[in-house]
Structure 1
Amino acid sequence: MKRISVDIGGTFTDCFFVWDDQYIEAKALTTHHNLALGFNEALDLACKRAELDRGTVLAEVDSVRYATTLGTNALIERKGPMVAAIVTHGFEDTIPLSRGRGYGEGLDSSMQQNLPAAERPDPLVPRRLIRSVKERVNSAGKVVARLDPQDVRNVVRELVDAGAEALVVSLTNATENPEHELQIQEIVLEEFPLHELGAIPILLGHQVSGRKGEYVRATSTIVDAFLHEIMFHALSQLSNNLRDYGYEKPMLVVHNSGGMAQMNSTDALQTIHSGPIAGVGAAEHLSNETGLGHVISTDMGGTSFDIGLVPEGGVKHYDFLPTIDRWLVSVPMVHLDTLGAGGGSIASYDRIHDAIKIGPESAGSNPGPACYDRGGLRATVTDADLLLGYLDPDNYANGYIKLNPKRSVFAIEETLCDELDSDVLDIAKEIKRGVDEQMAIGIGKELRVRGYLPEDFTMLAYGGNGPLHACGIAKHAGIKRVLAPPFSSVFSALGAGNMRQLHFHERGAHVVLYNATSRALYDSYGEFNEIVAELEALGREDLVRQGFAAEDVQYRLELDMRYGNQLLTQAVTLDINRINGVGDVLHVIKTFGEVYSHRFGASCAAPEAGIRVGTVRVASYVEGDVVRFESLEYGGPRCIPVAVGRRAAHFVDTDGAVDTPVYDQHALTHAHVIPGPAIVTTENTTFLVEPGWRLEPTSQGAVWFLQD
């Protein structure tokens, strides 16, 4: 296996390079103005370590995979084209009304309850750029009112004259019959051919989401259109860079569904959060191979802290109506909880609570934390870590960044000391305590809301800052076992390398498996199987177009189910792909009952109210080679290694400086145990062993943090 996997984050570009039996990790600063430059720097470092040149590598690798947060950042910063929307006549206000809940989606529960201060997000499509056309398709897909082509031409010309740079078409019931959306597309292309200047991208709602729900389908398509241009240019820039250096295969892009595809089979919407989700995929793979049991994955980078849940057995949780930024969308996405708490998160003074507030604003990579000495003037988590003695100023990020402690002192004094009437070190401790508590609260909430206890989970701490804050987070969260996984600083990039080619296709359906009124079981097997076969055909077509043999494609059937008229819908993964009799219907009902009872309790199941299916979904995928993890257990004798130095460090619950031994990466072998307090500095990350903890390394660079 020869493979390059890249995770382009807000601060660092991580590279995981596989060359036969060699596994190599490398990092470089993200170059936002041209992502290819940061990629080239990280790849060159990996090639240097493998003693290979870039041209040889790109000519022989079997694939190059990208995961990126570029779309996430563009959405947050509202960097996108002017998007216009065409809807069915009478539905012009569906998008602005946003189901009456637009003020709260994307906010935490406390903010959602603060109605007097509620603010809707600035719309991606202003009301003046929403137009309607006279047409109607009913819920069964029958055309009730035909589309008038001249009406469409007038509307399109009005929108272009008003400044539209991208066009969204989302018509009522188009998932049942897309005839009118396709007809509008033809008319737009007649008016503005793709080969002429002035052509604008046009996105159709039924192609972005096959699920019913007019508002969420419209917002999904709008977000996709908003990100289309920036993602196209950025990924094309990366693709062209590969071409320039001799890579002739299609570039692969990681999706937030937990799979990946070529660029020609990727929507911009599918790239949102793809980097952190690749890390959740790596956690799932690690759990399956080593028998870790329940795992909570935590990725602490320079900009954010991402939490993913992998219960025992390696089954990820999915969101089928996720909120991206402030917008509810209907794209299947691996569940992820993101907090604005990373190494670059800015610490500011909260006047209301007379305390320090951490994030969500981040210094990013440019200018970065104050200690980067690149013009940053505000204190960050990294500045606090440096002043507390955890970081080596001369050996940060493999020596690529020289840290300046004087800048950190200046930033804290200027922004926080006077407000809090405390000295610099006390404030640095409060920043450390605050960010650890904030992340621990996020973990506890994520677990308890799904019926789990933190003490039953192993916490995976990865990302550039994960091992640095692992002990503090685990202590506040009540977690006893923490693992810095193999290649922890580039674990999400490793996950991108393990992804398989996968596509989701779904369709809204009204299937009553058990009718409570007539007490009858579903018996229209042919109708149901026809829907499944259509979705399988779409997935097979996607994968065959990307060069796979049709016979290699595998399928997984999933249903969104509910009891009676309950609003709560539960996604259920089945071990069968067809329903061919009463036995199969009862098997589906039993599987739903088991999943529902496990999540909410057996007493909550209500089959007597009826059992309904709202969405049929098929995952089509092809298995591939993956990175193999070695055992995480070691039962042999251990000894304390010889320290390479000592440093004065300050710990949150300890008064004064502590003379702390410092080790290098040679100490991280399975023959060693490192009692806290201690600091281990490696090329790509720092392991902080707080008092009361010990470090037990295993193979492949995996490291256990265990409480004494």
Structure 2
Amino acid sequence: MMERVSVDIGGTFTDCFLVWGDQYVSAKALTTHQNLALGFNAALGQAIGQLDLSLEQVMGEVDSVRYATTLGTNALIERRGPTIGVITTAGFESSVPLSRGRGYGEGLPDRFRKDLPMAQRPEPIVPIPLIAGVRERLSEKGEVIMALDKEDVRSQVRKLVDRGAQAFVVSLVNSVVNPAHELRVEELIRSEYPEHMLGSAPIILAHLVAGRKGEYARTSSAIVDAFLHKAMYLGLSTLELNLRDNGHERPMQVVHNSGGMAQLNSTDALQTLHSGPVAGIGASEHLAAETDLGNVVCSDMGGTSFDIGLVVEGGVKFYDFNPVIDRWMVNIPMVHLVTLGAGGGSVARYDRLRRTVAVGPESAGSDPGPACYDKGGRDVTVTDADLILGYLEPDNYAGGQIALSEKRATSLFQRNIGKPLDIDAVAAAKLVKQKVDNDMANGIAQELRARGYEPANFTLLAYGGNGALHACGIADAIGIKKVLVPPFSAIFSAVGAGNMDQLHIHERSVYLQIYDSVTRALLSDFDGFNAIVEQLEERGRQDLVRQGYAEDEIEHRLELDMRYGNQLAQTAVVVGQNRITRNRELLELIALFGRDYGKRFGEGSQAPEAGIRINTVRVASFVRAPKLAFSKVLPDPETLRPAPEPEVRKFCHFIGRDEPTDTGFYRLDSLSPGHVVEGPAVVISESTTFLVEPGWRLSVGEYGAGWLERQDIIGEAE
């Protein structure tokens, strides 16, 4: 019997999902930034209260407590971190400040990235005076060209300490091939400044954070990791101590942005960034497999942002191998995620240049929040538009916790947008809804078509607090005809945290010509290739054994970053077997790479005449964990029946209709699995609102799930 607690700690709310046997319970509480444990305890208290259990009983019996968190993301945005000193190879001190020459644009919206005359680099985490070069040099093969000068290292470390360094990053050229010099620098820092002098100043070695070459991105990875180390250590340690105080003796688990999880003592701060949205994609993958949905677009619409991910039938995973975190490129493998500045709190304004409306990326946040919160906010938002159009109940928003002021929203909408456009507030609200739905639809379309997919072949999975409210509008704009609002949609990322496998990814940069176009020879050093794979498997094995897992539970997945010749475009290939022992297996790998490359860039674009090489060897080591059962989420077609009459009817405004439309309002808890609600309709739950737009119908599933279909395809499907 599964008994598990999973938590997603966001900037505003802490979401909790409790699995107790065959009972699933969700709860929310405000995040308490001064002590994360207080918000966790409040959310868990709500959940166990629904099952009439005691805290001691739950904490003593659950098999695991799993956390996904935006703690690191918020600390990076707010620039809350220690003063960092960087030690690099002499002559390479400018690698980070120059940031490949394109650092001014990384992490910015397109319109700012293209504005070269006004380009401004981000305020550096590590200013130039805190970057020190030491005399040493390794070749690209890891051979010692210049031995490490120990006295020079001691001198540079003293300078950094005198300038206020509270943490150290050691990133030496080619250390991913031979880490000996980085390890020696760590020893010298420890001997020069033992803990009783500087305290527990963290020393981050770049080769342990990122195993691929690329000096700028690797150093940036280590810098971000060091910058977040203290905030993550204090925040997560507080949570772990709280578990101990309440009787939970098992190790705390932390979700990683690689799509897995690990114990706190095996987690780098950098691995926790964006772990909440990544957990949602993990839940989507599991749900899609259990319900045979096929291809799925994951869309998480919260108060501030709209996150997009892809789950493709056949198990193809999409990773970013050089993701941009805030304003810095790093080179850790992270589940691919696109974030748009579009959410319920996104600010709507009059665009004077185009004489229309613009939405986001700025957000009104939760304080003062949208104008309708009546907390003094003077900006109008998407939530204000939804209220004016009639989709929200002013006295029953967020389970009745927030009373909305329609009068204030209408007044400010008229002043900020209606007056400049010479239209009334309702027409302005329609423009805002249409604009934000189109922006989100365009983001999805761009993501799909860049990878060669058609939106019509996908189901939209809509979750987050505002996902069910805008799902039909997004789907209409993009040509998607089926939408699933998953169970527990408002806390779906917390649900995903409960489904993660224990996983570690290790990788190493290599330069392997598996086909040399000049000599027309295939790779012959199979032993050398297999030795690299074995080393990476051993690192993953040690990680998992250290956390208490038996060796026979551990599995490994081999991935290779491959390219034709010197092309910049490379493709990650998931290899079916972890060793190559003969030419036939090598030719099968080449054929697999060619098929994957053709799917991505178009059949016929393959260029084996340029040679084929491997740039990165990557091994994912994991232990499978029991998963939640979602096989009965979709409504059974045999049980579909009309819903009872709505509790109340109101007039709502919809895009494409000049006159207000009579709309039925339902309570989700008054509907049962199999009930069918014809649009237009609004279905309200304690945590979200389903908007069934004209031309759509909603079929209610288990655990509050909703299956939305365009009515013009229902006859075809039947």
2:636 alignment partner, one of 606, 616, 634? 634
Q: Aligned residue for 1:649? A: 652
Q: Aligned residue for 1:439? A: 440
Q: Aligned residue for 1:366? A: 367
Contact 1:287–1:314 under 8 Å retained in 2: no
- Structure 1 residue 55, shift from structure 2 partner: 2.3
Q: Aligned residue for 2:24? A: 23
Distance of 1:416 and 1:36 partners within structure 2: 42
Q: What are the equivalent positions in structure 2 for 1:169-208 lying under 5 Å apart?
A: 169-208=170-209
Distance 1:86 1:42, change over 3 A: same
Q: What are the equivalent positions in structure 2 for 1:234-383 lying under 5 Å apart?
A: 234-383=235-384
Amino acid at match of 1:4: V
Amino acid at match of 1:695: L
Q: Aligned residue for 1:661? A: 664
Say which SS state the counterpart of residue 226 (structure 1) adopts.
Answer: helix
Amino acid at match of 1:483: L
Distance of 2:364 and 2:334 partners within structure 1: 28
Q: Does 1:105 align with 2:111?
A: no
Amino acid at match of 2:377: G
Q: Aligned residue for 2:82? A: 81
Amino acid at match of 2:618: R
Distance of 1:77 and 1:340 partners within structure 2: 18
Q: After the TM superposition, which of the residue ranges 252-261 and 583-592 deviates more from structure 2?
A: 583-592
Q: Does 1:625 align with 2:633?
A: no
Q: Aligned residue for 1:62? A: 63
Amino acid at match of 2:471: A
Q: Does 1:688 align with 2:702?
A: no
Contact 1:558–1:618 under 8 Å retained in 2: yes
Say which SS state the counterpart of residue 261 (structure 1) adopts.
Answer: strand
- Structure 1 residue 117, shift from structure 2 partner: 2.9
Contact 1:306–1:337 under 8 Å retained in 2: yes
- Structure 1 residue 413, shift from structure 2 partner: 5.0
Q: Figure out how many residues of one structure are paired with residues of the other and give that number.
A: 708
Q: What's the RMSD between the two structures over aligned residues?
A: 1.8
- Structure 1 residue 419, shift from structure 2 partner: 4.1
- Structure 1 residue 417, shift from structure 2 partner: 4.5
Say which SS state the counterpart of residue 195 (structure 2) adopts.
Answer: coil
Q: After the TM superposition, which of the residue ranges 616-625 and 79-88 deviates more from structure 2?
A: 79-88
Q: After the TM superposition, which of the residue ranges 55-64 and 31-40 deviates more from structure 2?
A: 31-40
Amino acid at match of 1:646: R
Q: Does 1:677 align with 2:661?
A: no
User: How high is the TM-score relative to the length of structure 2?
Assistant: 0.95
Distance of 1:581 and 1:330 partners within structure 2: 32
Amino acid at match of 2:465: G
Q: Over residues 206-237 of structure 1, what are the superposed CA-to-partner deviations in whole Å (9 max), with x where a residue is unaligned?
A: 11011111111111111111221222222122
Q: Over residues 318-338 of structure 1, what are the superposed CA-to-partner deviations in whole Å (9 max), with x where a residue is unaligned?
A: 111112222111100110000
Percent identity over the alignment is 59
Amino acid at match of 1:635: P
Q: Over residues 585-612 of structure 1, what are the superposed CA-to-partner deviations in whole Å (9 max), with x where a residue is unaligned?
A: 1121111111111111220011122110
Distance 1:426 1:83, change over 3 A: farther
Distance of 1:12 and 1:388 partners within structure 2: 26
Distance of 1:205 and 1:71 partners within structure 2: 19
Distance of 2:343 and 2:370 partners within structure 1: 11
Distance of 2:69 and 2:410 partners within structure 1: 33
Q: Over residues 406-441 of structure 1, what are the superposed CA-to-partner deviations in whole Å (9 max), with x where a residue is unaligned?
A: 443454356445444443333222222221111111
Q: After the TM superposition, which of the residue ranges 511-520 and 340-349 deviates more from structure 2?
A: 340-349
Amino acid at match of 2:228: L
- Structure 1 residue 110, shift from structure 2 partner: 4.7
Say which SS state the counterpart of residue 637 (structure 2) adopts.
Answer: coil
Q: Aligned residue for 2:706? A: 703
Distance of 2:101 and 2:154 partners within structure 1: 32
Say which SS state the counterpart of residue 313 (structure 1) adopts.
Answer: coil
Runs of at least 5 residues in structure 2 that lack an aligned partner in the other structure: 712-718
Distance 1:453 1:158, change over 3 A: same
Distance 1:118 1:514, change over 3 A: same
Distance 1:52 1:522, change over 3 A: same
Say which SS state the counterpart of residue 460 (structure 1) adopts.
Answer: strand
Contact 2:635–2:673 under 8 Å retained in 1: no
Q: After the TM superposition, which of the residue ranges 92-101 and 693-702 deviates more from structure 2?
A: 693-702
Contact 1:192–1:200 under 8 Å retained in 2: no
Distance of 1:73 and 1:356 partners within structure 2: 29
Q: Over residues 376-428 of structure 1, what are the superposed CA-to-partner deviations in whole Å (9 max), with x where a residue is unaligned?
A: 34222222222222112222222233333344345435644544444333322
Q: Aligned residue for 1:543? A: 544
Q: Aligned residue for 2:231? A: 230
Contact 1:66–1:254 under 8 Å retained in 2: yes
Q: After the TM superposition, which of the residue ranges 453-462 and 240-249 deviates more from structure 2?
A: 240-249
Contact 1:132–1:155 under 8 Å retained in 2: yes
- Structure 1 residue 139, shift from structure 2 partner: 1.2
